[in-house]
Each structure stands twice: as C-alpha cells, then as structure tokens.
Amino acid sequence: MIDKLIFGRFMPGESLIHHLDARTKLIAGFYFIGILFLANNWQTYALLTLFTFAVIALTGISYRFFIKGVKPLIWLILFTVVLQMLFTSGGTIFFSWGPFAISSFGLINGVYVFIRFVLIIFISTVITLTTTPMDLTDAIAYILRPFKVLKMPVQDIALMISVALRFIPTLMEETDKIMKAQRARGVEFGEGNLFEQMKVVVPIFIPLFVSSFNRAEDLADAMEARGYQGDQKRTRFRILHWHWCDLVAGLVLVALTVGLVTLRIS
C-alpha cells in the first residue's frame, strides 16, 4: 500500500498542465484550497469535483492512478469523517448515546468533509506530479521573495520544502522495505489490540529515523562540498516565464469562483 503513495513524485509529460509555470500551479493550488471552503451545498461540491477531474484529465495521467494514490490515506480521511459525523448535531437525530449523536446534518457534513479532503489531495498531487522539484524550489523562492525584506532566508526555506517533497517517495519506499524485513522475521502488522500494534510499529520508526538523519547529513555534506550558500545572489540556469496558458488558468479560476458564489447564494 505504501508504494502506491504518489504524492511528491514527478511524472514527465507534455500536457497543458505540465507546461504551466510552476508559480501558476502553486498559486492556483493554494487558491483552489481557499475557495474550496466556499462550497456549502451539493451543487458547489459537484462543480469543484468536475473541475478537479477536468484538471486531472488535462494532465494525461490515468484517474485510476490518482485513486490508487489516495488509498494509503483513506483511513485518516475516514477517521476525520467519523469524528465530524459524531460531534456535529443538527437536523434529524438517527442515533444518540451520551455525547455522541448521528444526525442528518452530521452525515451531510461528513460527506462534504470527505469530498473536501479528496479534492485537496488530488489537486496537491497534480502539482507535484507535473512539476519538477527544482521548478518547485524556484517557484517557492519567487513567491516568498517579498519576505526578504524581513531578513527571512527565502532560498533556504524553498530548498527545505523542495527536498522534503522530493524525499517523500523515498521514505515511503524505505518504510515498505523495513516492513517487509520485519515480516520476514515473523512480525505481524495489524494484529492484536491497540497497544500491541503500537509496539509493533516501534521497530519501523527507529531504523527509519536513523536512516533519515543519515541521509540528511550526507546531503548537507554534499551541498557543503559544492559550496552551496543560499543567501548569495546568483544567476539562474532555469528562468521561469509566464505564458498565455498561465493567463487562461487564472481566468478559469476566476470563473470557477464566480460559479461557486452563484451556486452558494442560490
């Protein structure tokens, strides 16, 4: 299941989404997450869902690939949905026991929360699948550039975020290898009560943390050996450029916002 996590991976392609400027995709991603909270009925969520699936279609990547990528996070999403259903009251009460209650409003809200989580994961995955880590670094550094006035190490922050995204698949693959090694030694995952399952997870986290720190130290040594200094002014090998498709993407987001506001009021 872990090796199916696609967040943080890059897939080369020649689609329209691949050719968008990295800054456009980052800003559009955050903007989409922001307007997602404007949705408050099934019409607005249907519009957002159609928009998300249209964006996925434009990437040229199979829908099945995205759905498989959500599976490792499905239990976390369902846990959040259950909490929303149990602690949200209103409408017709179907079941009540102490502080817990399942109502019609809670069920509807739980469905909305589920859709919201899935759409956020899909859009975030679209950004990482269609943008190289280096372009993400340059885009983050460009967006955070105004904070240089506050003496913030913008380039270092951008590099840390980019490296973190880059090593998500590596950590997942390494976790999968450790779990397979533990299974070969007779360890059973998902068996027993909660405390026994937590005890089984410890042999995974310890070697994973050790290897992560070792990899971070090796990466820091390699960057230091190459004379990397993030606060120094330097020319760039890759120059980001705005194109007509970036303008079209912005206009589409504006139209989406207008549609959401219209459906929200009606």
Torsional sign, CA 70, 71, 73, 78? positive
Angle in degrees, CA 7, 137, 163, rounded to 5:
55
Residue 59 DSSP SS3: helix
pTM of the complete model beyond 0.85: no
Cα 28 from Cα 22, distance rounded (Å): 10
Residues 140-159 have a mean pLDDT of 78
Q: For the chain, what are the domain ranges?
A: 2-165+239-265
Residues 155-181 have a mean pLDDT of 77
34-85 per-position pLDDT tens digit: 999 888 888 999 999 999 999 999 988 888 777 776 777 777 788 887 777 7
Q: Which residue has the higher pLDDT, 76 or 22?
A: 22
Residue 1, pLDDT > 50, answer: no
**Which phi and psi (to 5°) does residue 229 adopt?**
-140, 110
Q: Closest by alpha carbon to 138, among 20, 236, 229?
A: 236
Give residue for tokens 């303008």.
247
Q: For 5-9, 58-62, 147-151, 198-202, which range has the lowest pLDDT when averaged over its residues?
A: 5-9
177-194 per-position pLDDT tens digit: 888 887 787 777 666 665
Q: Which residue has the higher pLDDT, 224 or 240?
A: 224
Residue 228 DSSP SS3: coil
Task: Report percent pLDDT > 90 for the chain.
Answer: 15
Cα 23 from Cα 239, distance rounded (Å): 12
Beta strands in 54-177 (DSSP E): 93-97, 100-103
Q: What is the Cα 139 distance to its own chain's centre?
A: 17
